[in-house]
Chains A and B, each alone.
Chain A
Amino acid sequence: MRWGCFWLGGQWLLGLLLALQSTGFVYAQLPSDAGFAGRIGALCNATFEEKNKIVESIVQSGHPSAQPTLTALLEDRLYCRSQDQKVFLIKPAPEDSPTFNLIDPLTLKDAGSASTDDITRIVTNNHLRRVLETVLARFRLSSPKASVRLQAVKEIERDLNEGNVQLLRERSAIETSSKVKKEIGIGLGLASIDSSDPRERLAAISTLAGSLRQDVLNRLQTLVEKSPDGTFVESDEHVRKAAAKAIESIESRRSFYSGIQTVLFGLSLGSVLVLIAIGLAITFGVMGVINMAHGELMMLGAYSTYVVQLLMPNYIGSSILVAVPVAFLVSGLMGILIERTIIRFLYGRPLETLLATFGVSLILQQLVRTVFTALNREVKTPDWMSGTLQLNEALAITYNRLYILIFTLIVFAALLLVLKRTRTGLEIRAVAQNRAMAKAMGIRSEWVDAITFGLGSGIAGMAGVALSQVTNVNANLGQSYIIDAFLVVVFGGVGSLWGAMVAGLLMGVVDQLLQPYAGAVLAKIFVLIALILFIQARPRGLFPATGRAAESQ
Chain B
Amino acid sequence: MQRPRSYALWIGGVRDPGSTWFLGSLLALSVVIAALNLLVPESSALHLSRYGLTLIGKYLCYAMLALAVDLIWGYCGILSLGHAAFFSLGGYAIGMYLMREIGPRGVYGDPVLPDFMVFLNWKSLPWFWHGFNHFAFALLMVILAPGIMALIFGWFAFRSRVTGVYFSIITQALTYALMLAFFRNDMGFGGNNGFTDFKDIMGFNLDSDRTRVVLLVITAVMLGASYIACRAIVCSRAGRVLRAIRDAESRTRFLGYRVESFKLWVFVFSAILAGIAGALYVPQIGIINPSEFSPINSIEVVIWVAVGGRGTLYGAIAGAILVNYAKTYFTSALPEVWNYALGALFVLVTLFLPRGIVGLLPLAKGNHAGKPKKDVETFIVPAKTPEPSSE
Residues in A lying within 8 Å of B, measured CB to CB:
284, 288, 290, 292, 342, 345-352, 354-356, 358-363, 365-366, 369-370, 435, 479, 483, 486-487, 490, 494, 521-522, 524-525, 528-529, 531-533, 535-537, 539-540, 551-553
Contacts and interface: CB of A to CB of B under 8 A. Distances in A.
Contacts of A536: 156-157, 159-160, 162
Contacts of A486: 169, 172
A356 B351 contact: yes
B342 A359 contact: yes
Interface string B253-285: 000000000000000000000000000000000
A360 B390 contact: no
Given A529-B177, A553-B383, 17 more contacts: A288-B383, A290-B168, A345-B351, A348-B382, A349-B380, A349-B382, A350-B165, A351-B164, A355-B349, A358-B346, A522-B184, A528-B173, A531-B173, A532-B177, A535-B160, A536-B159, A553-B164
Contacts of A292: 299
Interface string B336-367: 10011011111101110010000000000000
A354 B168 contact: yes
B160 A537 contact: yes
B384 interface: yes
B161 A539 contact: yes
Contact of B166 (A361, A363, A435, A539): A539
Nearest to B346: A359
B287 interface: no
Contact of A351 (B79, B161, B170, B351): B79
B156 A342 contact: no
A346 B377 CA distance: 12
B383 A352 contact: no
A342 B351 contact: yes
Contacts of B159: 536
B142 to A, nearest CB: 24
Contacts of B380: 349-352
Given A351-B165, A483-B176, A532 B170 contact: yes
Given A288-B383, A355-B302, A356-B350, A535 B79 contact: no
Nearest to A538: B160
Interface of B: 79, 153, 156-157, 159-166, 168-170, 172-174, 176-177, 180-181, 183-184, 295-296, 299, 302-303, 306, 336, 339-340, 342-347, 349-351, 354, 380, 382-384, 386, 390
A288 B382 CA distance: 11
A185 B79 CA distance: 67
Describe B's contact surface by its main secondary structure: helix
A362 B169 CA distance: 20
A521 B351 contact: no
B383 A356 contact: no
A391 to B, nearest CB: 33
Contacts of A525: 177, 180-181
Describe A's contact surface by its main secondary structure: helix
Question: What are the nearest 6 A-B pairs in CB distance?
Answer: A359-B346, A362-B343, A366-B339, A363-B343, A528-B177, A359-B347
A537 B349 CA distance: 36
Contacts of B351: 342, 345-346, 356
B172 to A, nearest CB: 6
B149 to A, nearest CB: 12
Contacts, number: 141
A366 B351 CA distance: 21
Contacts of B177: 524-525, 528-529, 532
Contact of A356 (B172, B173, B346, B390): B346
A105 to B, nearest CB: 58
Given A479-B296, A524-B180, A533-B156, A362 B382 contact: no
Contacts of B382: 348-349
B327 to A, nearest CB: 12
B180 A521 contact: yes
Nearest to B307: A355
Nearest to B384: A348
A44 B161 CA distance: 85
A362 B383 contact: no
A17 B174 CA distance: 71
Given A366-B339, A532-B173, A553-B383, A360 B168 contact: no
A423 to B, nearest CB: 25
Given A348-B382, A349-B380, A532-B174, A366 B340 contact: yes
A290 B79 CA distance: 13
Contacts of A290: 165, 168
B345 A366 contact: no
Given A348-B382, A490-B166, A359 B345 contact: yes
Contacts of A361: 343
Contacts of A347: 383-384
A73 B343 CA distance: 62
A157 B375 CA distance: 80
A368 to B, nearest CB: 10
A487 B339 contact: no
A355 B304 CA distance: 10
Nearest to A535: B170
B344 A359 contact: yes
A490 B163 CA distance: 12
B379 to A, nearest CB: 9
A490 B346 contact: no
A490 B169 contact: yes
Given A525-B181, A528-B176, A535 B345 contact: no
A487 B345 CA distance: 27
Contact of B384 (A351, A358, A535, A552): A552
Contacts of B181: 521, 525
A347 B351 CA distance: 11
12 contacts: A292-B299, A345-B351, A350-B383, A351-B380, A352-B354, A362-B340, A365-B339, A521-B183, A524-B177, A529-B177, A551-B390, A552-B390
Among B180, B306, B347, chain A packs the most CB atoms within 10 A around the CB of: B347
Contacts of A352: 306, 350, 354, 380
Contact of A370 (B174, B296, B299, B336): B336
A362 B162 contact: no
Contacts of A365: 339
